[in-house]
Amino acid sequence: MKPKSLKIIFAILSFLILAWFVPCIIFQISRPQLKWDRSKIDTHKISYPKDFLWGVATSAHQVEGYNTNNQWYLWESAVDEKGNPRIAGGQKSGIACDHWNRYSQDIGLMKELGVKSYRFSVEWSRIEPQEGVFDSMAIKHYQDVCDSLIANGIVPMVTLHHFTNPIWFEKKGAFEKKENVADFIRFTEVVYLALRDRVKLWCTINEPAVYVVEGYFQGANPPGKKDPKLAAVVLRNILEAHVQAYYKIKSLPGGDQMKVGLVKNMTQMDPWRKWHLGDWVFANLIDGVFNGTTLNFLKTGKYRFVMPTMAKLMDENPKAKGALDFIGLNYYSHYNYKFSFNLDKAFQAKLLPGEIKTDMDYASYPEGFYRAIKTVSELGVPIYITENGIADARDDRRELFISQYLYAVSKALSDGYDIKGYYYWTLMDNFEWSLGYDMKFGLYSVDMITQKRTMKQGAKRYQEIIRQSN
43-70 tens-digit pLDDT: 988 999 999 999 999 999 999 999 999 9
Count CB-CB contacts under 10 A for residue 351. 16
Among 329, 332, 425, CA closest to 379: 329
Return the sign of the alpha-carbon dihedral for residues 174, 175, 176, 180. positive
Asked, for residue 365, whether it belongs to a domain, the answer is yes
Give the CA radius of gyration of the chain.
23
- Check: CB of residue 292 under 8 Å from CB of residue 30: no
Asked, for residue 99, whether it belongs to a domain, the answer is yes
SS3 64: coil
Contacts of 182 (CB under 8 A, 6+ apart): none
Longest CA span, the chain = 90
Element (H, E) at 216: none
Q: Tens of pLDDT along 80-104?
A: 989 999 999 999 999 999 999 999 9
At residue 151 the predicted structure's pLDDT band, cuts being 50, 70 and 90, is: very high
Cα 329 from chain centroid?
Answer: 7
Cα 181 from chain centroid?
Answer: 21
- Check: CB of residue 236 under 8 Å from CB of residue 315: yes
Asked, for residue 7, whether it belongs to a domain, the answer is no
d(CA 258, CA 256): 6
Return the sign of the alpha-carbon dihedral for residues 10, 12, 14, 17. negative
Q: Is the pLDDT of residue 283 over 80?
A: yes
**DSSP letter, residue 198:** T
* 314-325: average pLDDT: 98
Asked, for residue 43, whether it belongs to a domain, the answer is no
Q: How many domains does the chain have?
A: 1
* Side-chain-side CA neighbours of residue 241 (13 Å): 31
Cα-based distances in Å from 89 to 58, 92, 154, 164: 23, 9, 37, 21
Asked, for residue 370, whether it belongs to a domain, the answer is yes
| Cis status of the peptide bond prior to 308, with omega within 30 of 0 | no
Which of 348-351's residues contact partners 24+ apart within 8 Å by CB, and which partners?
Answer: 350/272
Judged by phi (left if over 0) then psi (alpha if -120 to 50, else beta), residue 141 lies in: alpha
d(CA 197, CA 194): 8
- Check: CB of residue 198 under 8 Å from CB of residue 192: no
Asked, for residue 197, whether it belongs to a domain, the answer is yes
Minimum mean pLDDT range among 128-132, 279-283, 456-460: 279-283
* 435-442: average pLDDT: 98
* 308-322: average pLDDT: 96
d(CA 265, CA 209): 8
| CATH code of the domain in which 87 resides | 3.20.20.80
Asked, for residue 47, whether it belongs to a domain, the answer is no
Write out the residue range of the structural domain in which residue 156 sits: 52-469
Asked, for residue 31, whether it belongs to a domain, the answer is no
pLDDT at residue 171, rounded to an integer: 98
